[in-house]
Amino acid sequence: MNPIELRASLGLAGLYALRMLGMFLILPVFAVYAGHLPGGDNHTMVGLAFGAYGLTQALLQLPFGMWSDRVGRKKVIYIGLALFALGSIMCAAADHIVWLVVGRAVQGAGAISAAVTALLADLTREENRTKAMAMIGGSIATTFAASLVIAPKLAGWIGLPGIFLLTAVLAVAAIVGVRQVIPNPTVTRHHSDAEADTRRLPAVLKHRQLLRLNYGVFALHAAQMAMFTVMPLLLKDIGGLDVSRHWWVYLPVVFVGFVLMVPAVIVGEKQRKLKQIFLMAIGLMFIAQLGMTLWMPNLAAIVLWLAVYFTAFNILEATQPSLISKIAPSDAKGTAMGVYSTCQALSMFAGSALAGWLYQHFHSPMPVFALCAVMVGIWLVVAWGMQPPLPVKTRMFHIGDQWAGDAVALSVKLAAIDGVKEAVVLIDERVALLKVLQDGWDEATAQQLIAETQ
């Protein structure tokens, strides 16, 4: 990476970390503290407040990304961060659960993920874009793990309103960071590898393998939000732990989950057993949800099932984006990821709202975990018929700005190279997208053909 690319990648990874920290910090403490607000004894409303963020995020994520193509990336990011800060302040000032619902919805309206990804694509060369995306992915994973440990202690010091005020401060800091740290792109154009394109939506929505993964991310994150809607209450009531001590549970189970995730992902990628690892992780997730449904008499049982849960969750979080990249058509990868992210955001709302309603009407966490077990069980059945993904990776090459040749003919030549499974030249974006075998493809010939276009 050159200095500008490195600055942009690190800066945008930091932006993601600041924003996601504000979102993740409330996960392990929201249900307890929201219950203390007037109207908070209605768990249905608590679930709606918890998940309202996801609903507006799902509705606005793709439109904001497309809007950034027209008005500029940074302008949309500023607006999104300002909405997130405003929603955070509204949540901090909420004196009734209804206003917490409204504030959370405003927070979610700051849907900048697609615009940030597009800005990253503007600021990085094709050959370095995967590295840059990996930096962002790493920042999100690290922030999630840290939040589960930090949030309970932080909530004990400043309460949920204090956490929301902190998220507002972080959003303002992110605005300053975008202005002062992130370079301005010299050229803004659409990037099919990183952005959604409405022209490619029909193909993505009809793709059976992608539909399996879209249901998977919906089930995974709906179960996650449902679990966090009731788990803080269980740690307090069954485990006998004050909220400020919940990190005693989250720290070891998150650590165990991360340690076991690493070899599993390596085996899946290097030994070409990604489907087997994927199905194993879904099976573990099902066991964890079933165990939470049927047997959770004390703190030790809670810790056991959470350890199984986080092991499965970490593996699935790492492998699903890789599967999307391998399975999606080369010229629709950004669209596939956009639909995937929208399903993820929508599941946050659905999982929280359903969990709150079930807990309100049955006064027990068992129906909540039973619902999660059903969703994950269906996922296991759906994923079982998935075609094993080819051991491929995506390579991108810049096409000379002055080249005016036949894009279709060049695509055919590139596709005929040994080890190339798919090739498409997008002349409007000045890029050739290749899906190639991880080992043994003829890169020299591809580079020679691309060099002739410069």
Q: Is the pLDDT of residue 140 over 90?
A: no
Task: Give CA 385 to chain center in angstroms.
Answer: 24
Confidence of residue 23 (pLDDT cuts 50, 70, 90): confident
The pLDDT assigned to 454 comes to 67
Residue 429's φ and ψ, nearest 5 degrees, are -95, -5
Q: What angle do CA 207, 421, 211 make, to 5 degrees?
A: 15
- The CA distance from 34 to 44, in Å, is 12
Highest mean pLDDT among 11-15, 103-107, 264-268, 388-392: 103-107
| Selection from 202, 204, 197, 131 nearest residue 426 by Cα | 197
Residue 393's φ and ψ, nearest 5 degrees, are -140, 160
How many residues are present in the chain?
Answer: 454
- The CA distance from 320 to 390, in Å, is 14
Q: Is the pLDDT of residue 172 over 90?
A: yes
- The CA distance from 217 to 409, in Å, is 37
Coil vs helix vs strand at 44: helix
User: Topology of domain 392-451, per CATH?
Assistant: Alpha-Beta Plaits (3.30.70)
pTM for this prediction: 0.92
Q: Where does CATH 1.20.1250.20 sit in the chain?
A: 1-191, 201-389
Question: What residues have CB less than 8 Å from 82, skipping those under 6 apart?
Answer: 110, 171, 175
| Selection from 278, 286, 166, 285 nearest residue 212 by Cα | 278
Q: Where does CATH 3.30.70.100 sit in the chain?
A: 392-451
What sign for the dihedral angle of Cα 328, 329, 330, 335? Answer: negative
Task: Judge: domain 201-389, CATH 3.30.70.890.
Answer: no
Q: What is the pLDDT of residues 292-304, one digit of tens each?
A: 999 999 999 999 9
> Residues 108, 87: contact at Cβ < 8 Å?
yes
| CATH architecture of the domain with range 1-191 | Up-down Bundle (1.20)
